[in-house]
Structure 1
């Protein structure tokens, strides 16, 4: 009899890729890319975690206009593609598989990050009111963006297409389009921000148009069986909201399914109940999307097993547990203790808190030596 544990650690065919297990390393910003170029340090970090069924890289901007954080990597120059080649080669040598997450922050930026200190761009000229941009000069209020002109939007779509071409040249197995967490695609999708009156605003079909045009451009580079999309239907990060997330993301899921994308990655916390938390949308997306569904949102081993057993998802992504445990699949399969994450080093520079978390055998040896 197949148990839930057997499912979590069993192989899965994701498009042309054969995954050895169903644990996905979620994309996590780590702010180690000086000059926005990946290095050997990145290669070591990702290689250490190659036992994941699939690695999704940290968010990677497709242009200088898309930068919103210190030391985040890009994929728009040849030097950046060469840096990422160090990563893909290391992961593949270790037997792993890795997708690049394509990213543009839109309004989640500050003029200090923008070329010539221009205003960031978004669907509408509405600034993020909550939180601060973390700049080289310290925390600053988010800059008020300008709304992209209708005739500018194809140029932004082309940035994602170029990023996909660079990712392919860098040796990635595929790409994930970042349409979650209040970044530029999400700013077009959700009506809490999108106040446009052109063909990219108003109706659900119009607000989804930007994502679908980017998806069509990116699948033209990689093929639909090597492209995924990440969404956060009920998330409020970066001051986001929508009046009807079920209708919006149900439409998005159906359209992506029709395009035969290899997966849909849904970020939705599993804890909290209404009215303290919004109604979950994942079940509806499972009905509308025929490809693989990846779920993310604070899953424990037991919750992941339950989701797989119930048919809610085919794969489960883990963030902080993978950050602190390079050998997470082994630890979970053996029910071994997990390393505690060092929160203070999440976004610092250098190797500390990045590539120095011990593997299970190393931790046991250190404990025995004491």
Structure 2
């Protein structure tokens, strides 16, 4: 049997296979909303024993947006999530919630003051606690595709001159503080981070992305999180998206920097997904429900 369909332990998550149902391609449908009534829909299609990573959930009212409007404080949302999680658990599946803050325009992000940063960290901590009470199995911090943590990571958008800007090490500080906040609520073995190396969505860029993401993954490994989730989106405008393993030298450095599980998401064919896991570049593959098909757009 191919490795893609064999069991895996990702931290505290014991999974029967390595096919992850992930809202990996959100940005192909910019403008569409996901409401509480939809939460259970894809969970009914989850392969038994698998992992679901939800669409983004804003960590506060300040982090809500037109396309991601409903946080845990929205009336009825917590109950809707609890019902959806129950459906997944009936299928022996695990559910990880993706906590997000969409970020600001570059000028506002550059001048976000210390109390504002502390407030965002507190929002992530509070949302993590809410997720635990609702019944999720873990959390994923969204630091991909132009989110606020991504804006701090990449020097194409981070123009700060304080302890959160300048050197790569400084630019990692905000995300690492978010990880510390969330792992103070959950154990580290139930926390992951979503990243988009080489991504250009929402104008993201970095002068040396391989150095940035290699150092970041080494640092996250030191924080003992069990998985990172590397994503591509059609919003990049590039045929291959931002898959670092398409550059072999970058792939080797990134893979060696993070010895725990790497989940990669994109529009893969079944064969491409099998190859990525067989080669151990990826430990699991994220797809939308029903998307891991030979006719899907991929390599």
Fold equivalence (TM over 0.5)? yes
- Tell me, yes or no, if structure 1 residue 18 matches structure 2 residue 14: yes
Deviation string, structure 1 residues 99-147 (Cα, Å, up to 9, x no partner): 000001012xxxxxxxxxxxxxx6x407xxxxxxxxxxxxxxxxxx673
State the distance in 1 between where 2:286 and 2:240 align: 19
Kept in 2, the 8 Å contact 1:150–1:198? The answer is: no
Of 165, 169, 172, which aligns to 1:205? 169
Q: Which residue of 1 aligns with 2:272?
A: 303
State the distance in 2 between where 1:80 and 1:268 align: 28
Q: Which residue of 2 aligns with 1:361?
A: none
Of 290, 306, 309, which aligns to 2:259? 290
State the distance in 1 between where 2:228 and 2:40 align: 26
Kept in 2, the 8 Å contact 1:42–1:87? The answer is: yes
- Tell me, yes or no, if structure 1 residue 9 matches structure 2 residue 5: yes
Kept in 1, the 8 Å contact 2:64–2:70? The answer is: no
- Tell me, yes or no, if structure 1 residue 194 matches structure 2 residue 194: no
- Tell me, yes or no, if structure 1 residue 240 matches structure 2 residue 236: no
- Tell me, yes or no, if structure 1 residue 73 matches structure 2 residue 70: yes
Greater CA drift, 95-104 or 61-70: 61-70
State the distance in 1 between where 2:47 and 2:272 align: 23
Report the CA distance between 1:279 and its aligned residue: 4.6
Matches within 5 A, 1:156-195: 156-195=120-159
Q: Which residue of 2 aligns with 1:90?
A: 87
Kept in 2, the 8 Å contact 1:81–1:169? The answer is: no
Q: Which residue of 1 aligns with 2:50?
A: 53
Secondary structure at 2:254 match in 1: helix
Secondary structure at 1:238 match in 2: helix
CA pair 17-190 structure 1, distance change in 2 beyond 3 A = same
Secondary structure at 1:317 match in 2: strand
- Tell me, yes or no, if structure 1 residue 27 matches structure 2 residue 23: yes
Report the CA distance between 1:267 and its aligned residue: 1.8
Larger radius of gyration: 1
State the distance in 2 between where 1:260 and 1:146 align: 29
Secondary structure at 1:199 match in 2: coil
State the distance in 2 between where 1:254 and 1:315 align: 19
Report the CA distance between 1:78 and its aligned residue: 7.0
Q: TM-score, normalised by structure 1?
A: 0.70
Of 110, 125, 135, which aligns to 2:107? 125
Q: Provide the aligned C-alpha RMSD in A.
A: 2.7
* Structure 2 portions without partners, runs of 5+: 27-31
State the distance in 2 between where 1:206 and 1:315 align: 30
Matches within 5 A, 1:275-286: 279=247, 281-286=250-255
Q: Which residue of 2 aligns with 1:116?
A: none
Q: Which has the higher contact order (CA 8 A, sep 6+)?
A: 2
Q: TM-score, normalised by structure 2?
A: 0.86
Count of residues paired in the alignment: 284
* Structure 1 portions without partners, runs of 5+: 108-121, 127-144, 341-370
Secondary structure at 1:43 match in 2: coil
Kept in 1, the 8 Å contact 2:100–2:142? The answer is: yes
Q: Which residue of 1 aligns with 2:29?
A: none
Secondary structure at 1:56 match in 2: strand
